[in-house]
Amino acid sequence: MGNDVARVAMLSVHTSPLAQPGTGDAGGMNVYVLELSRQLARRGVEVEVFTRRTSSDQPALVEDAPGVRVRHVAAGPYEGLAKEDLPGQLCAFTAGVLHAEARHAEHHYDVVHSHYWLSGQVGWLTADRWDVPLVHSMHTMAKVKNAALAEGDTPEPAGRVIGEQQVVDAADRIVANTSAEREDLLTLYGADPARVAVVPPGVDLATFRPDPGRAQSRRRLGWPADAEVLLFVGRIQPLKAPDLLVRAAAELLRVQPWRRPRLRVVVLGGPSGSGTAHPESLAELVADLGLADVVTLAPPTPRDVLADHYRAADVVTVPSYNESFGLVALEAQACGTPVAAAAVGGLRTAVDADPLSGTGVLVPDHDPRTWARALAGLLDDPGRRTAMGQRAAARARGFGWGATAEAVLELYRRAAADRRGTGAR
């Protein structure tokens, strides 16, 4: 099929793909939007990403790469507006998108691809206005999150549930990261099976790779060569459960106090979501458990430095209560490091937990004692970790962003062909 999709309007209302992942609202979705856009551009598709302006310093338009432009749309106050308040700014954001499109010739965009339900609401209107297909990526779902809330986390409101349902009903195609996410869309939201396609996210294999290895990465980071390092990467909020790793470390040291001189727990991330209400809570937990000499709390890092962290760690932990996929798990594996992840959502796809041929372990619950046992099992068996790491790097090579872009582009083409064939979805 020829490349009949030339221009895509990519919508990411609540977080800019140019933001540093790991703090605020920036995370795996930011990486997804930016990497997908770059790969589409390399295939001859012009991508314009619309995102809300959050600072007076942000230029109206940024050329990220040839064929990829990021447009910052004024919608509400630049700073201090919580994600929970963004539904009230969707009309203003939509107006900004429509005004930008009006500067082009008619039928400028061929597809609208929205990310997260807020963007889906905007995409629903703009795609209808332009008579083009709406392709939507959920990234997370309120019904799934509310079914497995972390202690102290805030349930998603009914307004989001209703908004998500409207987007699911309106979209020409929905991109699911895994078969499990597709099943959630079918069973919880009644999505049309013919319109939900599974397309796994990718990983930047040029940045996240096993080279130069653990020893050199540790030297660059200044970590002891003989340390036992457990790494967490992500936003500091109950959903991501960095506190569980800290509690598991405390339990591990209670049972095996001889580990203390060598054990290191490194947490890379910043407060986000409900975690912003008590931004010092994790540091307070570390102090209360007497782990100040074991746990290091550090801000997010650039991607090349992040790759060194992955390579330098003995185990990368992903203890989240829910993940649509879990890009951190994939990035870590691409660096040749085994992963200990919660057995939830897309992590069950991202991590191969086969006892003989796996790339990590899936922990069945969120009990610190269970996690302590799982982590001890990995730390006590360096040969097993090495074999897992080698298999992890090989597995990750099948998840390049190029393959993701090819599959998404084919989805665009089919959605556009369906719309042309019927005059509507």
Q: Which of 61, 153, 160, 174 is nearest to 118 (CA)?
A: 160
Contact, 241 vs 366, CB < 8 A? yes
21 is in an annotated binding site: yes
311 is in an annotated binding site: yes
Q: What angle do CA 124, 130, 132 make, to 5 degrees?
A: 75
- 115 strand-pairing partners: 137
65 is in an annotated binding site: no
337 is in an annotated binding site: yes
160 is in an annotated binding site: yes
Contacts of residue 141, defined as CB under 8 A and 6 or more positions apart, other chains included, come to 164, 181, 184, 185, 188, 189, 324
323 is in an annotated binding site: yes
How many angstroms separate the CA atoms of 416 and 418, rounded?
Answer: 5
322 is in an annotated binding site: no
58 is in an annotated binding site: no
In terms of DSSP H, where are the helices of 354-400? Answer: 368-379, 382-396
Contact, 412 vs 8, CB < 8 A? yes
177 is in an annotated binding site: no
27 is in an annotated binding site: yes
310 is in an annotated binding site: yes
H or E, element range at 73: strand 68-73
30 is in an annotated binding site: yes
Residue 2's Cα: distance from chain center in Å?
31
Which phi-psi region, left, alpha or beta, contains residue 232 (left: φ > 0; alpha: ψ -120 to 50)?
beta
313 is in an annotated binding site: yes
Quickly count: other Cβ atoms within 10 Å of residue 104's Cβ. 11
99 is in an annotated binding site: no
- One-letter amino acid of 254: R
The sheet with strand 315-318 has its strands ordered as: 295-298, 263-268, 228-233, 315-318, 339-342, 360-363
| Residue 165 DSSP SS3 | helix
331 is in an annotated binding site: yes
DSSP 380: T
29 is in an annotated binding site: yes
How many angstroms separate the CA atoms of 182 and 177, rounded?
Answer: 8
3 is in an annotated binding site: no
Residues annotated in a binding site for 1D-myo-inositol 3-phosphate: 14, 25-30, 83, 116, 140, 160
Residues annotated in a binding site for UDP-N-acetyl-alpha-D-glucosamine: 20-21, 28, 235, 240, 323, 331
Residues annotated in a binding site: 14, 20-21, 25-30, 83, 116, 140, 160, 235, 240, 310-311, 313, 323, 331, 337
